[in-house]
Amino acid sequence: MNRDGARKSIWQEEIKKFSPDPALEEWYDVAIVGAGITGMSTAVRLQKEGQKCIVLEASNIGFGTTGGTTAHLNDFFDTTYAQAIKDFGLRNAKLLKYVGIEAKNIIRNNILEFNISCDFQSKPGYLFALDDEQEKKLDTILKGASQVGHPMAQTDDIPFPFAFKKAAAIPDQAQFHPIKYVRSLAEAFIRLGGVLVEDCLCESHDENGDFVVLQSTKGSITARSVIYATHIPPGINMLHFMNAPYRSYAIAFRLKGDFHPKELGYDLAEPYHYYRTQQIDGESLLIAGGEDHKTGHADDTGECFSRLENYVREHFDVDTAVYSWSSQYYEPVDGLPYIGVLPGSKGKIYTATGFRGNGMIFGTITSQILGDLILKGSNKYKDLFNPERIRPITGFANFVKEQATVVLDFVKDKVFAEKMNSLAELSEGEAKVAKYDGESYAVYKEKGGELHLLKSTCTHARCEVRWNSAEISWDCPCHGSRFNVNGKMLTGPAVKNLQRIEL
């Protein structure tokens, strides 16, 4: 199975590429774009309810962040209940509590109904504070959780090798193998009569009266409704200014000795580290994650792996790192996802984005929300996750400032590029953005010496791409589009490849 990065994630080697190649019909009830957990969960729900559905996927199922996740299934979120109470009120924070519970039930029901074998296990999670500042954070988290009636509670004991100041135990969390799950959903979808087309990039849409016409690289189709389950919708949309792309890093280690933590663990550092184990080929591997940063904002992405590895080795008795990979998520400006009608559309196009590090849950609940909106016109989470909500919260100013830095950096980059050495001075395996004859280029020299030359302007909103040495990709710091060294789009919102210059 392929993924949107050069490194292999723990999930993708076990699973072969799934390649149905059905013929496209002209007309469908619902066209779902993107075959990650969001797209496949929603497609199965709608097909089961008698809708004639098609899933169009630019690469293969699980190609996006679903193939690079760590698949903890939680009912507490990166946006804490305390924060949700402050920004959305107690009633909405209480509503948020049901999202995790209901999403886990949807997953359990799908597993039972479609006889899915995906290593699903319920287990407790532990949040632990390692210093005074983290302890204050944990106190606030516990207070917020108790206000909404969430059962997390202080504990004196954690099953992780950390000298902690304070900790909380969280019952009934879960984990699974995300690609076994999504692949089985895809198979169930096809058995139910759904159509799944891979290697099919959706390039544009046109809302035409009661229908939407989608243009894709495999032809055009017409649907009554379209769902962009693409992690961030393609094209230019208000949502690109309400969500910032971030990278997170994960390493799966072989463990020495007998200590194999069975539970889920999270510290409260900024950014936090997260831990779980997973059986792969009969062997229990420790998956640790963290070192998050804004996409395009790390000088050397390889160093993020080194820092994470050193940190894990300080605390766990681990042997070799068997897999290491990074992936992308989106931070919404007010902390909650956007799930509903695509802003600026005429009501026939839907989307789901801004999941932070909780997209297994938010992607799954999307099947309930968008399924209900399409079938019944309403859902209890409709207003909470309404993509058109505008919330003038405290973080907004910082968020805008952060986006402004991107523009400033972009200008600085151009000046910096002027001073760069000539293209020929790159070492093998090295890459840079270089100015040449008044134009800006993204240049990568392969091992063996072959040069790959691209126009460095992102095809989405014309920012300058930056090199990601860890995943051998060109990443856009503005909205998170990513491209391989040949210019092929790996991650939207772009829908066009970077222009390749043949040398």
Where on the chain is the footprint of ligand FAD (CB under 6 A)?
33-39, 56-59, 63-66, 68-72, 201-202, 229-231, 234, 248, 250, 289, 327-329, 355, 357-361, 363, 492, 495
Residue type, 336: L
Least spacing, CB of residue 467 vs ligand FAD, in Å: 19
* Rounded distance between C-alpha atoms, residue 102 and residue 349, angstroms: 24
Encoding tokens for residue 443? 């240049």
Least spacing, CB of residue 5 vs ligand FAD, in Å: 10
Three-state SS for 208?
strand
Instruction: For the chain, give the longest Cα–Cα distance.
Output: 65
Tokens 């999307």 correspond to 366
The smaller minimum CB distance to ligand FAD, of residues 235 and 343, is found at 235
The residue number with the shortest CB distance to ligand FAD is 359
The smaller minimum CB distance to ligand FAD, of residues 72 and 432, is found at 72
The smaller minimum CB distance to ligand FAD, of residues 243 and 328, is found at 328
Contacting residues for 104 by C-beta, under 8 A, at least 6 apart: 73, 75, 172, 174, 361
Least spacing, CB of residue 436 vs ligand FAD, in Å: 31
* Rounded distance between C-alpha atoms, residue 56 and residue 70, angstroms: 24
Least spacing, CB of residue 333 vs ligand FAD, in Å: 17
Residue-wise DSSP of 11-45: TTTTS------PPPPSEEEEEEE--SHHHHHHHHH
How far is Cα of residue 3 from the mean position of the Cα atoms in its chain? 12
Cα distances (Å, whole numbers) of residue 89 to 78, 98, 355, 396: 17, 15, 20, 17
The smaller minimum CB distance to ligand FAD, of residues 268 and 361, is found at 361
Nearest to 305 by CA among 477, 65, 471: 471
Least spacing, CB of residue 239 vs ligand FAD, in Å: 13
Encoding tokens for residue 404? 């402004």
Least spacing, CB of residue 277 vs ligand FAD, in Å: 13
Cα distances (Å, whole numbers) of residue 60 to 82, 179, 186: 38, 11, 11
The smaller minimum CB distance to ligand FAD, of residues 189 and 329, is found at 329
The smaller minimum CB distance to ligand FAD, of residues 18 and 63, is found at 63
The alpha carbons of the chain give a radius of gyration, in whole angstroms, of: 22
The smaller minimum CB distance to ligand FAD, of residues 36 and 296, is found at 36
Three-state SS for 340?
strand
The smaller minimum CB distance to ligand FAD, of residues 2 and 284, is found at 2
Least spacing, CB of residue 123 vs ligand FAD, in Å: 13
Least spacing, CB of residue 76 vs ligand FAD, in Å: 11
The smaller minimum CB distance to ligand FAD, of residues 48 and 273, is found at 273
Least spacing, CB of residue 487 vs ligand FAD, in Å: 16
The CA-to-CA distance between both ends of the chain, in Å, stands at 31
Least spacing, CB of residue 216 vs ligand FAD, in Å: 7
* Rounded distance between C-alpha atoms, residue 124 and residue 253, angstroms: 21
> Cβ(97)–Cβ(381) under 8 Å?
no
The smaller minimum CB distance to ligand FAD, of residues 327 and 345, is found at 327
